[in-house]
Amino acid sequence: SQELEQSPQSLIVQEGKNLTINCTSSKTLYGLYWYKQKYGEGLIFLMMLQKGGEEKSHEKITAKLDEKKQQSSLHITASQPSHAGIYLCGADAGGTSYGKLTFGQGTILTVHP
Amino acid sequence: DAGVIQSPRHEVTEMGQEVTLRCKPISGHDYLFWYRQTMMRGLELLIYFNNNVPIDDSGMPEDRFSAKMPNASFSTLKIQPSEPRDSAVYFCASSLGPRGQPQHFGDGTRLSIL
């Protein structure tokens, strides 16, 4: 089965700093989804990547999928307290496992004002 | 537009009782997913439906768990009898398609079994 490893497990930064969260897969990624979760709430969809080398941005968040499609990174520029939360990557296992997403364990981001 | 709606938001009950969690997917979404989130195991897929039909229930932990989708706008996840180890946050999600479409999550049901 596919496993996703996120690093770091937790991150504490000062407001205004840049940061990067990584998501590494044991198998080729056929689709990679980034979500943000606040405590006590559901997951909010951020971005989806499907092609090797693909990069997408929304406001100050940029996500990339490497050419080999086994690693993705999420980069936040000039972090703000509103960016705080748990970031999870989810991956499509491919093949006949339509719709099944495997999730990483999450990265807890704290942003100090 | 209304998102995925789950009820109840919190449930506290005693061991052995039946628990029913409810979900209303986003209108027009053909896929519905049930997940469980715990500190130890993270977010795990339990079962998912396509057009109200269960497609993969390999994540359902045991026979005490059952899920139904009687129509396109309603699904239930039932635990009978409940055990303390079932305590977790249960999420429902829906999507337009199985691949290349993001899953949209509800706010979850926080379940505590005493």
Taking only the tens place, the pLDDT of each residue in A17-38 is: 999 999 999 888 888 999 999 9
Strand spans (E) along chain A:
4-7, 10-14, 19-25, 32-37, 43-49, 55-58, 61-65, 71-76, 85-92, 101-103, 107-112
Cβ–Cβ of A99/B110 closer than 8 Å?
A: no
- Is any Cβ of chain A less than 8 angstroms from the Cβ of B25? no
Tell me which long-range contacts A46-50 makes (C-beta under 8 A, separation of at least 24): A46/A74, A46/A87, A48/B100, A48/B102, A50/B100
**Tokens 């709430």 map to which residue?**
A41
List CB contacts (< 8 A) between A101 and chain B. Answer: 33, 45, 103
CA distance A86 to A38: 6
When computed from its CA atoms, the radius of gyration of chain A, rounded to whole angstroms, is: 14
Contact status of A40 with chain B (Cβ, < 8 Å): yes
Helical H runs in chain B? Answer: none
pLDDT digits (tens, 9 = 90+) for A39-79: 888 999 999 998 888 999 999 999 999 988 899 999 999 99
Pick from B16, B99, B23, B89: nearest CA to A40: B89
Nearest Cβ partner of A41 from B93, B103, B107?
B107
**CB B103, CB B93: distance < 8 Å:** yes
Note the residue count of chain B. Answer: 114
Report the pLDDT value the prediction gives residue A96, as an integer from 0 to 100: 65
Q: Can you state the percent helix, strand and coil of chain B, rounding each to 5?
A: 5, 55, 45
Q: What string of pLDDT tens digits covers the 114 residues of chain B? A: 689 999 999 999 999 999 999 999 999 999 999 999 999 999 999 999 999 999 999 999 889 999 999 999 999 999 999 999 999 999 999 999 878 889 999 999 999 999
**A45 and B103 in contact by Cβ < 8 A?**
yes
CA dist A91 → A68, B35, B45 (Å): 14, 15, 12
| pLDDT for position A1 | 62
Contact: B102, A92; criterion CB under 8 Å: no
Whether B105 sits inside 8 A of A40 (CB atoms) is no
| Best of B43, B45, B96 to mutate (most A CBs within 10 Å, chain A) | B43
Determine the Cα–Cα distance for residues A30 and B9; give it in Å rounded to an integer.
Answer: 33
Cα–Cα distance, A52 to A66 (Å, whole number): 6
Beta bridge partners of A76: A19, A61
Q: Report the mean per-residue pLDDT for chain A.
A: 91
**3-state secondary structure at position A94:** coil
Q: Kindly identify which residue of chain A lies nearest to residue B57, measuring between CA atoms.
A: A100
Q: How far apart are CA B96 and CA B98, in angstroms?
A: 7
For residue B49, the chain A residue with the least C-alpha distance is: A99
Find chain B residues with C-beta within 8 A of A32's C-beta: none
Query: Which of chain B's residues have a Cβ under 8 Å away from the Cβ of A6?
Result: none
A92 part of contact set with chain B, CB < 8 Å? yes
Q: Is A99 left (phi over 0), alpha (psi -120 to 50) or beta?
A: left
Q: Which two tokens stand for residue B24?
A: 């209303």
Please check whether residue B31 touches A, CB under 8 A.
yes
